[in-house]
């Protein structure tokens, strides 16, 4: 599950999931929901594999979302379906989506960057929780 919340001139994402891999997938869907209003219209017709090295869960989340934003900005690629595999050296994600189609995808916010401000990732008794602020 993810939730978008207002934060001054920014937007925040609060994410909860049963595992860290699920947390990364939900965070990716959450970011896409900020970029386009109707993420259900995004078809998983293109597949890419993304490798993010690292061991710190908060920085992995930051780098993951930054990579998704980069793919969106540089290639117009909206990714909405994720299969993350976490190991001791980072995460590898098979991601699926498609190029933005102005007639089908209703763009909402222009996200300038993922920020470190209030970045938080923690494991709880119920699973994993995270919060991240997006500069819009």
32-56 pLDDT per residue, tens? 999 999 999 999 999 999 999 999 9
The answer to whether residues 19 and 127 touch, using CB atoms and an 8 Å cutoff, is yes
**CA 98 → CA 21, 31, 39, distances in Å?**
22, 15, 11
110-120 pLDDT per residue, tens? 999 999 998 99
Q: In what order do the strands lie in the sheet with 46-53?
A: 46-53, 90-99, 77-87
Domains, the chain, ranges and CATH?
Answer: 2-135 (3.55.10.10)
**pTM, whole model, 2 decimals?**
0.91
The answer to whether residues 98 and 81 touch, using CB atoms and an 8 Å cutoff, is no
pLDDT of the residue at 9: 67
- For the chain, the average pLDDT equals 94
């Amino acid at each position: 599950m993810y939730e978008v919340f207002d934060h001054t001139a920014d937007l925040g994402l609060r994410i909860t999931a049963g595992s860290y891999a699920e947390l990364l997938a939900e965070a990716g869907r959450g970011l896409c929901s900020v970029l386009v209003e109707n993420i259900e219209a995004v078809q998983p017709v293109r597949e890419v594999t993304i490798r993010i090295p690292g061991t710190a869960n908060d920085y992995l989340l930051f780098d993951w979302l930054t990579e998704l934003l980069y793919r969106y900005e540089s290639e117009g690629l909206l990714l909405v379906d994720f299969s993350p595999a976490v190991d001791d050296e980072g995460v590898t994600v098979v991601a699926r989506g498609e190029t933005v189609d102005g007639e089908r995808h209703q763009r909402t916010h222009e996200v300038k960057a993922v920020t470190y401000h209030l970045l938080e990732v923690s494991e709880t008794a119920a699973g994993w929780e995270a919060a991240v602020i997006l500069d819009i």
